[in-house]
Structure 1
Amino acid sequence: MPDSSPTQQTELEPIPGKRYFTIGEVAKLCDLKPHVLRYWEQEFEQIQPVKRSNRRYYQRQDLLLIRQIRSLLYDQGFTIVGARQWLKGEQAGDDAKRYRQLLRQTITELESIRDLLKTVR
């Protein structure tokens, strides 16, 4: 029987091609609980959903960032402080590490686009 713990890499659903997502939709698409997303907003300054009428609306780049944070924490074993530093590039004192970060983000985005295109066919 496969282990479904958060430390095991899981296939996430492709991100639909819409402009805004509710916290419930993001939680489902990122395999997280809504309270985790609200907590991460406090811990990672990069997560800034649009807030209207006391509701959060996330955009595609927010989902990609949240998935990247999820991967850093759950799959790669980073602490929150370590993931925050990695995202800010503080630990990357040189350009090579910054380049790898940008490359990982690009790969994540391309994989999401590929998955989206697979569902369109």
Structure 2
Amino acid sequence: MDNTTAITIFAALAQSTRLDAFRLLVRHEPDGLAAGELARRLEVPHNTLSAHLNVLSQAGLVISQRQSRSIIYRASLEQMQTTLAFLAHDCCAGRPELCAPLLEALQPACHSSEEETP
């Protein structure tokens, strides 16, 4: 990834509705969400959401696929991974022990309901 691509991605995410949309789509991987459902959950008009999704799509952060009469949007986890790798490429000047907190923070916090204590 080059700086220009990274700046395009950061610019796409530097707006509240787009950031919320991307994060919501990440939470709904791998199935994604229909455009209408995404608009409903974000409480934004369909045409406004369409413009935001277009920006995210041009940055390579979302993928769309038509299913019958709906368009399903999914987060591009590959693009997210590439962006995070770009940011951390020169992390800690080759001292991996300094990057341990960053790597721990990137671990998913997904737990099944069985693992949680009441």
TM-score w.r.t. the length of structure 2 is: 0.38
Higher Cα radius of gyration: 2
